[in-house]
Amino acid sequence: MSQSDDQGRSESYPRGPGGDPQQGPPQYGQPQQHAQQYGQPQQGHPGYGEAAYPQQFTTPVDYGQQYGQQYGQPAGYGQQYGQYGSSAAPAKPAGVITAAVLGFVFAAIGALLGLVGIVAGAAASGAGAELDEEIPGFGSVAGAVGGLLLVLGLLALAWTVVMVWGSVWALTGRSRVLLLVGGSIAVALTAIGFLSSLAEGTTGDVVGNLVFLLASVAIVVLLAMRPAAEFFAAHRARRSGR
Cα four-point dihedral sign 104, 108, 109, 115:
positive
Q: How far is CA 89 from the centre of its chain?
A: 6
- 10 Å Cβ neighbour count for 99? 28
**Average pLDDT over the chain, rounded to whole?**
74
Phi then psi for residue 21, to 5 deg, are -70, 140
Residue type, 69: Q
Chain segment 60-79, per-residue pLDDT in tens? 445 444 444 444 444 444 44
The arithmetic mean of pLDDT across residues 121-135, rounded, is 75
How many angstroms separate the Cα of 190 from the Cα of each of 36, 167, 176, 187, 212? 118, 19, 21, 5, 6
pLDDT at 83 exceeding the cut of 50: no
pLDDT at 213 exceeding the cut of 90: yes
CA–CA dist 114, 160 (Å, integer): 8
CA–CA dist 198, 149 (Å, integer): 25
- Min mean pLDDT across 83-87, 164-168, 203-207 is at 83-87
The pLDDT of residue 242: 57
Burial (CB count within 10 angstroms: exposed 0-12, middle 13-18, buried 19+), residue 141: middle
CA–CA dist 182, 179 (Å, integer): 5
The arithmetic mean of pLDDT across residues 141-168, rounded, is 92
Chain segment 88-106, per-residue pLDDT in tens? 667 889 999 999 999 999 9
Confidence band for 47, pLDDT divided at 50, 70 and 90: very low
Nearest to 109, CA basis, from 197, 228, 193, 6? 193
The pLDDT of residue 171: 93
Under a CB-based contact definition with an 8 Å cutoff, are residues 163 and 112 in contact?
Answer: no
CA–CA dist 130, 156 (Å, integer): 28
Burial (CB count within 10 angstroms: exposed 0-12, middle 13-18, buried 19+), residue 168: middle
CA–CA dist 202, 192 (Å, integer): 15
The residues that bridge with 21 in the sheet, in sequence order, are 15
SS3 57: helix
